[in-house]
């Protein structure tokens, strides 16, 4: 009611400023209604108690039924958990459920449905309907910038391209978790966490040769306001883009990603999200003692059973951050059991990744032998875990370890590498190969700096891209480098004992304030306690979107470090330093065998 009244007042004042005189009985045509609801006649229910509202209902229903619009503008709500879920509201987005002529089927169909039912998607849909009913017009909204590349919304983007001749996409950025190289002072135009974008969709009477134009607007809020006030669609410097066939993204694409690409999620049989507890402080601890204390305080019945220790497991909580979890359905909101049961059942290893990256420069993939939490592999999105093995048993038989790769992938891998695939372990990479060779190859590939640069846009939008090579020498060398990286990231390499750093301070230091200066990491303001010899490149190295050396310590602020934890930090520094070295070697090896893209064999060739 308040914005409705203010809108009337402001429009009246503006009309008065123009010289308009209110001699007519005509009202300002601003209506109080839920735009997402179809016309309903409530006037009979309101006529007695609120005749003014009854008149309003009649007027807005007539407008919804009969009025045609050629301009639709607005700032619709961004509500991923929509309150507009009536049958009629849910049907508003039905036209966006298909892509490339087929219904969209996602592995996480519930997440897809939630994203599709976001209120701003519904407003785009009804705005589109208004313009189509008039045959010509302009639809322009400012919305959450996920509209540009969210895989759940690829059907919507395809539909807009089909119905509008020209689309202009102005990315205003400004997301809290969005880090853009060269624009560290970027601010949002609103006081919200999500990055935003302006969309202008034009439907004319000309031919059907749709174009999508894109531009970025970066900087502080005052700079963006000035640009938006002074520029228009006509004066903005646009870059015409070609949406990719895989996701129909409205962002510039890498030249390397034309066509459909094989992704990580297509080669595994079983994978799923990381564990989501909703109460990390209770069910995840640094050690068993503190963990059990928290569980007893929360609900002592959980540890009343003498077999309660069977629920305690190790967990990779953040990169290099190993913790303990009370893995019980009464205290863990989402155990991701269909995936994590294969980790609990026996020895395993798997890849840790994400399907989207707010900051493409921070793309990374991790590895774990343990269960993972939902933020283990990414700081602002959901983590997905891909176990290399499954434990399967029939009719109560003892579970047997089998590889977790699809048969289609194995057929392609074997045909291109010219090796016979063994079901467990690894081969000699001459005549045989195995699932662990696949993991090492992928891990090496994903850590190639040139791979990350070349596929920057594609990696920001979906799971990592899979490439093959028929060159066995390249295969062996990348697998070996991938194996080295795995041993560093699991902290299993003997090379980690060759320290780079020296600890100075008391035997059991308390972490107070963390900062890095002059190659040293200090744990207190007085600079009397910390680690000497931490290279700048190591301090600035990110995994999972986290600055690892800083994050590991910040998560222990106020905690007294044990000798084991001090030693653990020494090993993290070595592991990251070695990672930087190996990443450079991977690119050198690929260059020595033909470089990009010659070193790789396209699928089907």
Q: pLDDT tens digit string along 121-169?
A: 999 999 999 999 999 999 999 999 989 988 899 999 999 999 999 999 9
E strand map for 268-349: 272-273, 284-285, 312-318, 321-326
Residue 360 pLDDT greater than 90, yes or no: no
Q: What is the pLDDT of residue 38?
A: 86
Mean pLDDT of all residues in 479-499: 97
Q: What is the pLDDT of residue 506?
A: 94
Residue 178 pLDDT greater than 90, yes or no: no
How many Cβ atoms are within 10 Å of 221's Cβ, its own excluded? 15
Instruction: Report d(CA 412, CA 408) in Å as an integer.
Output: 6
Instruction: Report d(CA 213, CA 166) in Å as an integer.
Output: 8
Q: What is the pTM of this model?
A: 0.77
Mean pLDDT of all residues in 441-457: 93
Helix (H) or strand (E) holding 522: strand 520-522
What is the average pLDDT score of the chain? Answer: 91
Residue 198 pLDDT greater than 60, yes or no: yes
Instruction: Report d(CA 235, CA 276) in Å as an integer.
Output: 47
Classify residue 544 by burial, with Cβ atoms within 10 Å: 0-12, 13-18, 19+: buried
The contacts of residue 210 (CB under 8 Å, 6+ apart) are 161, 162, 164, 165, 166, 167
CB 77 within 8 Å of CB 119:
yes
How far from chain centre, in Å, is Cα 118? 17
Instruction: Report d(CA 444, CA 455) in Å as an integer.
Output: 15
Indicate if the alpha-carbon torsion angle 357, 362, 368, 370 is positive or negative: negative
At 192 the three-state DSSP class reads coil
Token pair 């540890």 is found at 303
Q: How confident is the model at residue 110 (pLDDT cuts 50, 70, 90)?
A: confident
Tell me the per-residue pLDDT of 10-69, one tens digit each, with 9 for 90 and over. Answer: 998 999 899 988 777 777 888 888 888 888 765 555 555 566 677 788 888 889 889 999
CB 270 within 8 Å of CB 339:
yes
Tell me the per-residue pLDDT of 309-319, one tens digit each, with 9 for 90 and over. Answer: 999 999 999 99
**DSSP class of residue 276?**
B
Tell me the per-residue pLDDT of 453-470, one tens digit each, with 9 for 90 and over. Answer: 888 888 888 899 999 999
Token pair 């999620």 is found at 265
Residue 392 pLDDT greater than 80, yes or no: yes
The H-assigned helical ranges of 378-471 are: 407-417, 435-446, 449-454, 456-461
- With CA atoms as reference, report the closest residue to 216 among 244, 245, 183: 183
At 516 the three-state DSSP class reads strand
Residue 187 pLDDT greater than 80, yes or no: yes
> Both tokens of residue 184?
């560290």
- With CA atoms as reference, report the closest residue to 159 among 147, 144, 175: 147
Q: How confident is the model at residue 207 (pLDDT cuts 50, 70, 90)?
A: low
Q: What is the pLDDT of residue 209?
A: 84
Q: How confident is the model at residue 604 (pLDDT cuts 50, 70, 90)?
A: low
- With CA atoms as reference, report the closest residue to 586 among 490, 511, 489, 478: 478
The H-assigned helical ranges of 179-220 are: none
Q: How confident is the model at residue 379 (pLDDT cuts 50, 70, 90)?
A: confident
Q: Which residue has the higher pLDDT, 396 or 571?
A: 571
21 CB-side CA count, 13 A? 1
Q: How confident is the model at residue 256 (pLDDT cuts 50, 70, 90)?
A: low
> Both tokens of residue 595?
């470089």
> Both tokens of residue 514?
């963390």
Beta bridge partners of 73: 140
The backbone region for 421, taken as left when phi is positive above 0, alpha when psi lies in -120 to 50, beta otherwise, is beta
Q: Which residue has the higher pLDDT, 351 or 179?
A: 351
Cis peptide before 285 (omega within 30 of 0): no
Q: How confident is the model at residue 170 (pLDDT cuts 50, 70, 90)?
A: very high
Q: How confident is the model at residue 421 (pLDDT cuts 50, 70, 90)?
A: very high
Give me the phi and psi of 546, to 5 degrees please: -110, 140
Mean pLDDT of all residues in 366-382: 93
- With CA atoms as reference, report the closest residue to 366 among 576, 600, 588: 576
The distance in angstroms from the start CA to the end CA of the chain is 64
Find the helix packing angle between 472-489 and 435-446, rounded to 10°. 80
Q: Which residue has the higher pLDDT, 28 or 531?
A: 531
CA-to-CA dists, residue 101 to 96, 109, 158, angstroms: 11, 18, 10
How many Cβ atoms are within 10 Å of 296's Cβ, its own excluded? 13
Indicate if the alpha-carbon torsion angle 231, 234, 235, 241 is positive or negative: positive
Q: Which residue has the higher pLDDT, 28 or 229?
A: 229
Domain ranges, ordered by start, for the chain:
1-30, 37-66, 68-253
Please, what CATH class does the domain formed by 68-253 belong to?
A: alpha beta
pLDDT above 70: percentage of residues in the chain: 96
Mean pLDDT of all residues in 514-536: 93
The backbone region for 594, taken as left when phi is positive above 0, alpha when psi lies in -120 to 50, beta otherwise, is left
């Amino acid at each position: 009611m308040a914005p409705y009244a203010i809108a009337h007042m402001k429009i009246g004042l503006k009309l008065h400023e123009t010289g308009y005189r209110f001699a007519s009985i005509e009202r300002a045509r601003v209506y109080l209604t839920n735009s997402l609801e179809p016309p309903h006649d409530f006037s009979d229910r309101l006529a007695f108690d609120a005749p003014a509202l009854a008149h309003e209902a009649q007027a807005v229903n007539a407008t919804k039924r009969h009025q045609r619009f050629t301009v639709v503008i607005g700032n619709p709500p961004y509500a991923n958990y929509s309150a507009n879920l009536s049958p009629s509201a849910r049907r508003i987005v039905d036209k966006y459920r298909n892509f490339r002529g087929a219904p969209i089927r996602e592995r996480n169909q519930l997440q897809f449905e939630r994203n599709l039912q976001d209120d701003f998607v519904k407003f785009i849909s009804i705005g589109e309907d208004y313009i189509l009913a008039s045959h010509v017009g302009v639809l322009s909204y400012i919305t959450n910038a996920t509209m540009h590349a969210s895989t759940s919304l690829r059907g919507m983007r395809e539909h807009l391209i089909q119905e509008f001749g020209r689309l202009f996409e102005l990315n205003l950025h400004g997301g809290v978790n969005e880090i853009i190289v060269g624009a560290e002072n970027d601010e949002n135009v609103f006081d919200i966490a999500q990055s935003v974008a302006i969309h202008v969709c034009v439907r004319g009477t000309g031919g059907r040769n749709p174009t999508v134009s894109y531009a970025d607007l970066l900087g502080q809020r005052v700079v963006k306001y000035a640009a938006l006030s002074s520029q228009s669609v006509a004066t903005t410097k646009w870059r015409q883009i070609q949406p990719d066939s895989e996701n129909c993204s409205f962002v510039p694409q890498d030249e390397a990603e034309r066509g459909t690409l094989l992704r990580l999620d297509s080669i595994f049989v079983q994978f799923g999200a990381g564990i989501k507890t909703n109460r990390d402080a209770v069910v995840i601890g640094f050690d068993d003692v503190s963990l059990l204390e928290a569980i007893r305080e929360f609900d002592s019945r959980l540890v009343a059973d003498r077999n309660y220790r069977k629920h305690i497991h190790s967990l990779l909580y953040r990169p290099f951050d190993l913790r303990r979890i009370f893995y019980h359905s009464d205290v863990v909101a989402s155990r991701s059991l269909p995936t994590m049961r294969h980790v609990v059942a026996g020895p395993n290893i798997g890849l840790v990744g994400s399907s989207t990256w707010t900051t493409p420069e921070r793309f990374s993939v991790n590895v774990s032998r343990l269960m993972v939490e939902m933020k283990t592999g990414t700081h602002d999105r959901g983590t997905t875990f891909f176990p290399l093995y499954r434990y399967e048993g029939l009719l109560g038989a003892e579970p047997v370890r089998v590889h977790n790769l699809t048969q289609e992938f194995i057929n392609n891998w074997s045909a291109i590498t010219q090796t016979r695939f063994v079901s467990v372990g690894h081969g000699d990479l001459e005549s045989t190969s195995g699932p662990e060779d696949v993991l090492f190859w992928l891990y090496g590939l994903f850590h190639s700096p040139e791979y990350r640069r070349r596929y920057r846009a594609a990696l920001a939008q979906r799971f990592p891209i899979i490439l093959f090579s028929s060159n066995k020498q390249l295969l062996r060398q990348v697998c070996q480098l991938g194996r080295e990286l795995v041993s560093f990231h699991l902290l299993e390499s003997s090379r980690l004992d060759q320290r780079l750093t020296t600890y100075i301070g008391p035997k059991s230091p308390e972490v107070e304030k963390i900062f890095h200066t002059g190659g040293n990491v200090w744990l207190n303001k007085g600079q009397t306690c910390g680690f000497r010899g931490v290279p700048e490149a190591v301090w600035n190295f990110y995994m999972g979107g986290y600055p690892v050396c800083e994050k590991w310590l910040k998560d222990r602020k106020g905690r007294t470090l044990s000798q084991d934890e001090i030693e653990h930090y020494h090993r993290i520094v070595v592991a990251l330093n070695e990672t930087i070295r190996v990443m450079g070697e991977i690119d050198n090896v690929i260059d020595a065998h033909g470089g990009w893209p010659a070193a790789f064999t396209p699928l089907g060739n």
